[in-house]
Structure 1
Amino acid sequence: MADMSVSPTLRFPDAVDAQTRSVRLRDVTRESLAAAAFLDDRWDRTGCAAHSVPLAKLVPDGPGARPVFIWHSAFCCSTLLARCLDKPGRNLSLREPAALMEVANIKRRDGVAVSDLWLRGLLPSLAASAGTDACVTIKPTNTVNNLIADPARLFPQARHLFLTSSLRGFLTSLAKKGEAGRSFARRLFTIFAMDGHPVARSDPRQLMQMSDLQIAAIVWHMQIATLQAALAQGPAAAFASLDGDAFVAAPAAALTAVDEFFGLELGAAHIAATADGPLFRQDAKHAGQAHGAERRRQEAAAIAASLGPELDAIIEWSHGLFPQSPRDGRLPNPLI
């Protein structure tokens, strides 16, 4: 008799090779995928055997699960939300798979026709990695937002949630990370500039004279513009939005709305236990580290106080450049 305590091995698409048009699959368990905070270079792949498969032959066995997506603007509790939606037998949440980052860069380098070829094979394979789960939720990193319109076009049955924060929340979160946060903001700018945003045509000398927080503010507006454009293209029934602070303030209501929108059928008991459970008392990115809504508010207030009037001045300056961005960061079609 088979040992039912041993999880079946799944084939997870871990990376792509643009030169050989192949995908690297890893032998993994559902538990290892669900436990990983991020499925990028921070994921420990020790013991996960690798297999190279030509993209043309990447056809998962069976129909695979129906993917749903959490797209986000960073620092808005997207990792926490994805963790909350994970329930064995119903939904597997995949957080920031590296293969999608590579496809996003393929699109920037080679164009949409080439990236479409990758998405047609990769997304069903990611969905199939859910195994016996009915659904898979994919939370890409925010540098993958240039792909949003493509899964919506190629897989009309998919659903897409846009999770955002206010500009103030974005800036204080970056400032809290010190030099690493400032470097991250400038790196994001260079990436998003390749996606055709008009601000990328600014005089480089003018950009060099801007402070790190000014660049970070522009990065937030660039992301909001990308999400707004995707929402405007529709179809409306396939897209919804959620404010990160609203999610943390009313987790049960938010999770119920997300569950219904995605069609995950997690159930009221799972939602109630999750909303009142340990996930909201620890850091979603670093297991075992205490965190929570009140501590998050206190840290944000302390950072805002340390920045002083500069924070408000940069927010006002940036909204003068991008008047179409919502002041509170909230997008149309909100779930709550």
Structure 2
Amino acid sequence: MTAAPSVSAIVDDAEWLAHRYDPGHDAFHFRRVPRPARGAAPFLTDTHLGEETAPAILRRSDCLGAAGAASAPLHFIFHSAYCASTMLTHALDQPGVAASLSEPVLLNDMVGWRRRGADPRDHGRVMDGALAMLGRGFAPGEAVVVKPSNIFNPLARGALMLRPQARAILLYAPLRAFLLSVARKGMWCRLWCRELLESYLADGYVQLGFEPRDYFRQSDLQVAAAGWLAQQQAFAALLDWAPARIASLDSETLTQGPAAAIAAAMDHLHLTGDRAAIADHPALARNSKSGAAFAEGERQRDLAAAEAAYGEEISQVAGWAEAVAGQANIPLILPGPLPVR
């Protein structure tokens, strides 16, 4: 039988993805995920990677002891959904430049544990360790870019405080484009928007002037818009808090000129690499969710079809959301945009 790898062997090898956290045993679960498999999966979840029946389970203290003081530069992409964030994340994955992580479950575990009543000091220590375990590049000098799920957004400022050298991009879809995406994706997407808003209410992340019961009286698209507004409000506060470290980017700028937008993102994150090669990155040629070949202008055509089908409802909800944004002083277009050339 082959001997199980040592703690040092696992921590030193970025193929071992820090996948879960078990607060009962203060342990991280690792699973082996080679770089090509990470690039092929839209999200680093069991749904897309397959179930791991025999993870390597290591005490947090042992992991941190094996990791030492050195760590790769760590940066973040925080997003508000349906904004081409997976494409951007995968496009930034360039060997020798940066390794990217798309929605690692470990950060979802940080959210769940906090909601279950984790002591804030303990949570901060474990979050620091989780970021250390995620921030392991494949090669010396290689940065790590993490795109958390947007359920993590209420913890974004805490993560940036734990990593004062980290930089971040706040990626969002304009309000109408976001609502069109929700409408065309159907019932399950509308339910997901309700679940997201429910989670944000539990986190105290929604400051729109409504009572919790008011959301029961709102349509699906109003609820989706409320979630978008909550994220937009928080993103604006983040930009005001650390404008030198954080920049915004909207999905239409990204998808209409991806090579230029990705180059600007690399500049902001202080990533090296050949900007001229960006246009040939495979992430720009495929649908980030299905893996199918991505036709130029596909996103715009999808939105146009949704406009034809749901335009009247979208207009009503967008008008309502704009009024709410005005009352709550929420910018519909975020300040601090990446200088895309």
The TM-score with structure 1 as length reference comes to 0.89
State the one-letter code of the partner of 1:250: G
Cα distance in 2 for partners of 1:250, 1:242 equals 12
Flag the 1:218–1:247 CA change in 2: closer, same or farther, 3 A.
same
Instruction: Give the alignment partner of residue 323 of structure 2, picking from 313, 320, 323.
Output: 320
What are the equivalent positions in structure 2 for 1:45-194 lying under 5 Å apart?
45=50, 49-59=54-64, 60-61=66-67, 63-108=70-115, 109-110=117-118, 112-132=120-140, 134-194=142-202
How far does residue 203 in structure 1 lie from its aligned partner after superposition?
3.7
Flag the 1:9–1:65 CA change in 2: closer, same or farther, 3 A.
closer
Stretches of structure 2 lacking an aligned partner (at least 5 in a row)? 1-12
Percent pairwise identity: 30
Instruction: Give the alignment partner of residue 210 of structure 1, picking from 218, 223, 227.
Output: 218
Contact 1:169 1:300 in 2 (8 A): yes
Flag the 1:244–1:298 CA change in 2: closer, same or farther, 3 A.
same
Instruction: Give the alignment partner of residue 289 of structure 2, picking from 270, 285, 291.
Output: 285
Cα distance in 1 for partners of 2:81, 2:173 equals 8
Contact 1:283 1:290 in 2 (8 A): yes
> Which residue number in structure 1 is paired with residue 9 of structure 2?
none
> Which residue number in structure 1 is paired with residue 26 of structure 2?
21
Instruction: Give the alignment partner of residue 268 of structure 1, picking from 269, 275, 287.
Output: 275
Flag the 1:46–1:313 CA change in 2: closer, same or farther, 3 A.
closer
Cα distance in 1 for partners of 2:275, 2:110 equals 36
Cα distance in 2 for partners of 1:315, 1:181 equals 18
How far does residue 93 in structure 1 lie from its aligned partner after superposition?
0.9
Work out the number of aligned pairs and report it: 323
State the one-letter code of the partner of 1:183: L
Q: CA RMSD in A?
A: 2.2
Instruction: Give the alignment partner of residue 310 of structure 1, picking from 310, 313, 329.
Output: 313
State the one-letter code of the partner of 1:326: P
Cα distance in 1 for partners of 2:306, 2:288 equals 20
Contact 1:12 1:25 in 2 (8 A): yes
Flag the 1:11–1:169 CA change in 2: closer, same or farther, 3 A.
same
Cα distance in 2 for partners of 1:241, 1:319 equals 20
How far does residue 145 in structure 1 lie from its aligned partner after superposition?
0.6
> Which residue number in structure 2 is paired with residue 3 of structure 1?
none
> Which residue number in structure 1 is paired with residue 251 of structure 2?
244
Cα distance in 2 for partners of 1:167, 1:83 equals 24
Flag the 1:110–1:273 CA change in 2: closer, same or farther, 3 A.
same
Contact 1:95 1:140 in 2 (8 A): yes
Cα distance in 2 for partners of 1:61, 1:122 equals 12
Which string of whole-angstrom CA distances, capped at 9 and with x for unpartnered residues, describes residues 40-95 of structure 1?
23232467852111222221535231111111111111000011111112211110
How far does residue 131 in structure 1 lie from its aligned partner after superposition?
4.6
Query: Please, which moves more after superposition, 237-246 or 50-59?
Result: 50-59
Stretches of structure 1 lacking an aligned partner (at least 5 in a row)? 1-7
Query: Please, which moves more after superposition, 151-160 or 104-113?
Result: 104-113
